[in-house]
């Protein structure tokens, strides 16, 4: 068993699969991070992915152009995010609850639309949809082990990598990032500083919609080549847990998403040698919870420590002042 | 009777009642519009959707049967929502409860009557313990209970189907099915030649019990107070942490019992190929009932009506059953929107003011 796992972990093929299963989670986690930084939890990521996956398949089949399909998928995903914004920000609905409701609409709605179009509830195989291309990177592909892992991935995997940089820039380098964090930290203070919190939140929702759109389209037009019912498989929810693990940073998202990707890929392997698939399928979710709990625990501990020091410091200063 | 009268005269509760009504009507209307968009024979489909329970006596009994599991999950979520928690772990409690009941229903022998009761209690306890998990994660590590419960739902679903597959599976069957239940495990039928089982009465009993518990006992009061204002509850000397824990245990217990009742009442073996996810229906039922267990039967009836209609329509036509999930989402969206509630409340207030000012000017 240990021998087997050691063999797997050193194989290039395993890491190739790790990157592949990390990419969609990474994208949605980034989406969850940016909205959470603005102080709104995008629970509708699951629904965004589902609609993107289905729309991408339908439009790419209808137009026979994968890029138009991708664009339409992203559009659908952004639309879901905007509807969430409409309900949560304009109609003052509970954002978590309306996110969950939008996911329900998506779970039922995608199957409903699929059935109405194809007469099949499970899979879109009767639609001649396109698949997003894989890229082989010129120089890198010739490096012995690394080339096999990094090169030849689907284009969305590279987009996910680029997204990390983009989100990091948005959050930490651009002025908008400061506004986003200010909104998340204290809405009233942000408003007093002339920031329009609703607009900022809508902005982050749109970004997260775009990211979830890539992820959803990847699932149905890259990771697999069909839309199947419930294709998102809870990744939108995982993203909201991973967001906490990521600690609100784009770089942290890589580790958080990897946590899921590593176990997910390992599950694929262990399943192949006939090791109780049901138990192994539960692994990625269990590991995500574990990471989630550990990180919140450590963060709270650190926060408490910081506060203690802070208060101790002020108390000391006061004592000094009193003595003087 | 008095409470019904108060329900309709109390100004405070009239606005939410109107919203509830509005959400119900709107979802029906949205359903009809959707049918007209996709169906080739919309009139027939709409007729099947709206009148299903009255067209066949089978459908009518089916309506009552469907009410049973969603009453259980609805009650469970009422308790959680009284605390203003969002945990959806009752899904795992229900599913695991069904698995536990299957294990006890196939592996042990007990006299009839005792057998299902033992299975229900065992399933309830397991469900209750599962129900505690997100609450513990929240209290101890401040992990968002909705996220953790959704993750745990996946974990317990896979665990449950693992147990069925590897320990309880009937290998003589080609489709996935557990070993057949012992005869003593099955609940008696309520009406001969129908599937309506005693579980219906058990569910009704639990509605009464939970209503009394939440509104007539100290523990229920503590739950409601903790939910309304945890800090106040703490200063009033209520042990908030243990209140949250036992509320979640009871909620999970109800879910577990619901799963067991479903197994022993409706099936002869565990044959779920996937999770029926009655928790989502429970969300709507609890929201429509406005967290009050006494209204759960009414909202369960409404939701069962939608479900049976959609089922009947999809079997006789070209509209997919999943459209019920779509409606479900729409109902939650409407009910969750403060603005919509406020709209009704404001309109009422305006009318009242207008009336008052007229009276004054006279």
Query: Higher model confidence: residue A124 or residue B308?
Result: B308
* No. of helices (H) and no. of strands (E), chain B: 15, 0
List, for residues A245-263, the tens digit of each pLDDT value.
888 888 888 988 888 888 8
pTM of the model: 0.86
- At B149-188, the pLDDT tens digits run 988 999 999 999 889 988 888 888 878 888 899 999 998 8
- For residue B338, tell me if it sits in a domain: no
C-beta of residue B156 within 8 angstroms of C-beta of residue B150: no
User: Do the chains contact at A286 and B151, CB–CB below 8 Å?
Assistant: yes
Residue B352: what pLDDT? 80
A322: pLDDT strictly greater than 80: no
Task: Find the mean pLDDT for residues A298-308.
Answer: 82
- ipTM of predicted assembly, 2 dp: 0.81
- Residues of chain A with C-beta less than 8 angstroms from the C-beta of B158: 278-279, 281-282, 285
The shortest CB-CB distance from B143 to any of A106, A286, A293 is to A293
Say if the Cβ atoms of A289 and B330 lie within 8 Å.
no
- Residue B104 in any domain: the answer is yes
CB < 8 Å to B330, chain A:
101, 105
Start-end of H helices in chain A: 2-10, 12-37, 45-63, 66-85, 95-118, 144-150, 155-172, 175-185, 187-192, 197-218, 235-246, 250-272, 277-323
* Residue A51, CA atoms < 13 Å, CB-side half-sphere: 28
Let me know the angle formed at the C-alpha of A289 by A288 and A295, rounded to the nearest 5 degrees: 90
Structural domain includes residue B51: no
Residue B290 DSSP code: T
Identify which of B300, B292, B121, B124 has the alpha carbon closest to the alpha carbon of residue B216.
Answer: B292
Judging contacts by C-beta atoms under 8 Å, the chain B residues touching residue A237 are 147, 150-151
Residue-level pLDDT at A229:
85
On average, the pLDDT of chain B sits at 87
Is residue A288 within 8 Å of A260, Cβ to Cβ?
A: yes
CA dihedral A238, A242, A244, A247 (to 10 degrees): -160
Helix (H, G, I), strand (E, B) or coil at A124: coil
Strand partners, B342: none
Spatial CB neighbours of A7, under 8 Å, sequence gap ≥ 6: none
pLDDT of the residue at A168: 92
Half-sphere exposure of B64 (CA within 13 A, CB side): 19
pLDDT digits (tens, 9 = 90+) for A29-40: 999 999 999 989
Residues facing A93 on adjacent strands: B337
Q: What is the pLDDT of residue A302?
A: 84
CB of A170 within 8 A of CB of A204? no
pLDDT at A305: 84
Of A67, A84, A105, which is closest to residue A31 (Cα–Cα)?
A84
Cβ-Cβ pairs closer than 8 A, A with B, add up to 147
Q: How far is A67 from chain B (nearest CA, A)?
A: 28
pLDDT at A118: 85
Closest to A33 in 3D by CA, of A25, A231, B316, B201? A25
- Please say whether the beta carbons of B93 and B76 come within 8 A: yes
Query: Total structural domains in chain B?
Result: 1
Residue B4: predicted pLDDT: 53
What is the four-CA torsion angle of A269, A273, A278, A281, rounded to 10 degrees?
Answer: 0
Centre a 10 Å sphere on the Cβ of residue B261 and count the other Cβ atoms it contains.
30
Q: What's the pLDDT band for A292 if we cut at 50, 70, 90? A: confident
DSSP A233: T
* B99-108 confidence digits (pLDDT tens): 999 999 999 8
Domain membership flag for residue B256: yes
Residue tagged 């009941």 (tokens): B101
Domain limits for position B161: 67-293
Query: pLDDT (tens digit, 0 to 9) for every residue of chain B, 362 residues total?
Result: 455 555 445 555 566 677 788 888 888 898 889 888 888 888 888 888 888 888 888 888 999 999 999 999 999 999 999 998 989 999 999 999 999 999 999 998 889 889 999 999 999 999 999 999 999 998 888 788 888 898 899 999 999 988 998 888 888 887 888 889 999 999 888 888 888 899 999 999 999 999 999 999 999 999 999 999 989 999 999 999 999 999 999 999 999 999 999 999 999 899 888 888 888 889 889 988 888 999 999 999 998 998 899 888 888 888 888 888 888 888 888 887 766 666 767 777 777 888 877 777 66
Chain B residues 125-154 with a CB less than 8 Å from chain A = 137, 140-144, 146-148, 150-152, 154
State how far the Cα of B266 lies from the Cα of B198, in Å rounded to an integer: 10
Q: Is the pLDDT of residue A215 over 90?
A: yes
Average pLDDT over residues A200-218: 94
pLDDT value of position B328: 85
Task: Identify the residue with better confidence: A68 or A5.
Answer: A68
3-state secondary structure A61-122: HHHCCHHHHHHHHHHHHHHHHHHHHHHHHHCCECHHHHHHHHHHHHHHHHHHHHHHHHCCCC
B299 lies in a domain? no
Q: Between residues 271 and 310 of chain B, which touch chain A (CB distance below 8 Å)?
A: 280, 283
pLDDT above 80: residue A85: yes
**Residue B362: per-residue pLDDT:** 62
Confidence of residue A297 (pLDDT cuts 50, 70, 90): confident
């Amino acid at each position: 068993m240990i021998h087997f796992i050691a063999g797997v972990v050193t194989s290039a093929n395993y890491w190739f699969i790790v990157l592949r299963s990390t990419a969609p989670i990474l994208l949605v986690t980034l989406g969850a991070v940016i909205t959470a930084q603005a102080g709104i939890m995008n629970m509708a990521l699951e629904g965004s992915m589902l609609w993107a996956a289905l729309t991408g398949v339908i439009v790419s089949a209808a137009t026979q152009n994968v890029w138009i399909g991708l664009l339409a998928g992203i559009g659908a995903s952004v639309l879901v995010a905007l509807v969430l914004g409409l309900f949560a920000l304009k109609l003052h609905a509970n954002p978590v609850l309306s996110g969950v409701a939008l996911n329900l609409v998506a779970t039922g709605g995608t199957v409903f639309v699929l059935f109405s179009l194809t007469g099949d509830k499970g899979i879109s195989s009767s639609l001649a949809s396109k698949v997003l291309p894989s890229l082989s990177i010129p120089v890198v592909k010739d490096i012995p082990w690394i080339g096999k892992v990094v090169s030849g991935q689907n284009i969305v995997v590279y987009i996910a990598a680029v997204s990390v940089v983009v989100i990091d820039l948005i959050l930490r380098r651009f002025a908008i990032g400061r506004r986003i964090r200010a909104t998340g930290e204290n809405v009233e203070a942000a408003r007093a500083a002339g920031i329009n919190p609703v607009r900022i939140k809508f902005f982050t929702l749109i970004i997260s919609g775009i990211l979830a759109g890539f992820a959803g389209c990847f699932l149905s037009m890259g990771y697999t080549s069909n839309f199947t019912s419930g294709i998102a498989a809870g990744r939108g929810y995982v993203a909201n847990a991973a967001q906490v693990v990521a600690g609100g940073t784009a770089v942290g998202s890589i580790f958080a998403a990897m946590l899921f990707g590593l176990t997910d890929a390992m599950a694929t392997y262990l399943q192949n040698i006939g090791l109780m698939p049901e138990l192994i399928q539960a692994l990625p979710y269990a590991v995500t919870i574990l990471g989630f709990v550990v990180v919140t625990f450590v963060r709270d501990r650190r926060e408490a420590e910081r506060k203690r020091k802070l208060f101790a410091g002020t108390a000391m200063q006061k004592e000094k002042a009193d003595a003087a | 009777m008095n409470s019904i009268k108060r329900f309709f005269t109390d100004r405070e509760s009239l606005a939410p009642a109107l919203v509830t009504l509005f959400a119900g009507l709107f979802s029906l209307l949205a359903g009809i519009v959707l049918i007209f968009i996709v169906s080739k024979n919309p009139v027939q489909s709409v007729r099947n959707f709206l009148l299903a329970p009255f067209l066949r006596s089978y459908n009518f009994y089916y309506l009552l049967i469907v009410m049973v599991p969603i009453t259980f999950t609805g009650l469970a979520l009422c308790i959680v929502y009284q605390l203003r928690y969002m945990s959806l772990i009752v899904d795992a409690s229900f599913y695991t409860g069904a698995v536990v009941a299957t294990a006890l229903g196939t592996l042990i022998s007990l006299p009839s009557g005792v057998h299902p009761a033992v299975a229900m209690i065992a399933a309830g306890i397991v469900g209750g313990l599962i129900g505690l998990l997100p609450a513990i994660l929240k209290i101890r590590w401040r992990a968002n209970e909705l996220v953790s419960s959704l993750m745990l739902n996946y974990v317990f679903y896979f665990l449950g189907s693992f147990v069925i597959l590897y320990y309880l599976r009937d290998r003589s069957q080609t489709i996935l099915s557990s070993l057949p239940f012992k005869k003593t495990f099955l609940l008696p039928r309520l009406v001969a030649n129908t599937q309506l089982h005693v579980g219906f009465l058990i569910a009704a009993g639990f509605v009464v019990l939970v209503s009394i518990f939440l509104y007539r006992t100290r523990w229920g009061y503590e739950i409601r107070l903790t939910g309304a204002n945890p800090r106040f509850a703490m200063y009033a000397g209520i042990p908030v942490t243990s209140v949250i824990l036992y509320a979640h245990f009871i909620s999970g217990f109800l879910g577990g019992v619901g799963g067991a009742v479903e197994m022993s009442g409706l099936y002869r073996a565990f044959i779920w190929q996937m999770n029926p996810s009655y928790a989502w229906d429970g969300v709507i039922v609890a929201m429509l009932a406005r967290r009050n267990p006494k209204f759960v039967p009414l909202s369960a009836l409404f939701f069962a009506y939608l479900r049976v209609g959609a089922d009947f329509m999809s079997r006789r036509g070209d509209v997919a059953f999943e459209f019920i999930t779509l409606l479900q989402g729409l109902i939650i969206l409407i009910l969750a929107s403060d603005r919509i509630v406020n709209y009704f409340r404001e309109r009422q207030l305006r009318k009242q003011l207008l009336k008052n000012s007229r009276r004054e000017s006279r």
